[in-house]
């Protein structure tokens, strides 16, 4: 009889421990599953954002390269225009110097021609 009582007590205590263990472990398992899902969702989100920003950086780099090419060509054109302007100025200064040397020659008087009428 004592053996039956011990066996029943062991079964009841075993079921109690199993029930208590199930409820305690179940909460921990659910918490762990939730943390795992949150981690994967965050990782997927960050991966998507990383890909988006890499594409944005690539597009920005392409635009920057195009802008630099335009800037280089514009600076080349500007330098050519400045050089042409300097050459024209030097030529004009030389022309003024030539005109100043020949100022002693008499110039022909301007004719008093009547002003021209504009046609509408």
pLDDT at 15: 94
**What are the pLDDT digits (tens) for 2-26?**
899 999 999 999 999 999 888 888 8
**pLDDT confidence band for 100 (50 / 70 / 90):** low
Per the domain annotation, does 69 fall within a domain? yes
| Helix, strand, coil fractions of the chain, as percent rounded to 5 | 85, 0, 15
Per the domain annotation, does 58 fall within a domain? yes
Per the domain annotation, does 18 fall within a domain? yes
Per the domain annotation, does 108 fall within a domain? no
Per the domain annotation, does 70 fall within a domain? yes
Task: Annotate 42-65 with DSSP letters as a single string.
Answer: HHHHHHHHHHHHHHHHHHHHHHHH
Per the domain annotation, does 99 fall within a domain? no
**What are the pLDDT digits (tens) for 13-65?**
999 999 988 888 888 899 999 999 999 999 999 999 999 999 999 999 999 99
Per the domain annotation, does 96 fall within a domain? no
Q: How many domains does the chain contain in total? A: 1
pTM value > 0.85: no
Per the domain annotation, does 113 fall within a domain? no
Containing structural domain, residue 21? 1-91
pLDDT at 37: 97
């Amino acid at each position: 009889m004592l053996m039956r009582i011990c066996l029943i007590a062991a079964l009841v205590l075993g079921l109690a421990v199993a029930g208590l263990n199930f409820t305690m472990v179940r909460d921990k398992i659910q918490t762990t599953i939730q943390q795992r899902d949150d981690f994967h969702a965050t990782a997927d989100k960050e991966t998507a954002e990383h890909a988006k920003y890499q594409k944005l950086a690539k597009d920005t780099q392409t635009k920057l390269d195009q802008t630099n090419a335009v800037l280089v060509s514009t600076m080349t054109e500007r330098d050519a225009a400045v050089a042409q302007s300097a050459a024209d100025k030097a030529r004009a200064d030389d022309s003024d110097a030539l005109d100043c040397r020949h100022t002693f020659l008499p110039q022909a008087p301007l004719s008093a021609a009547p002003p021209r009428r504009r046609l509408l």
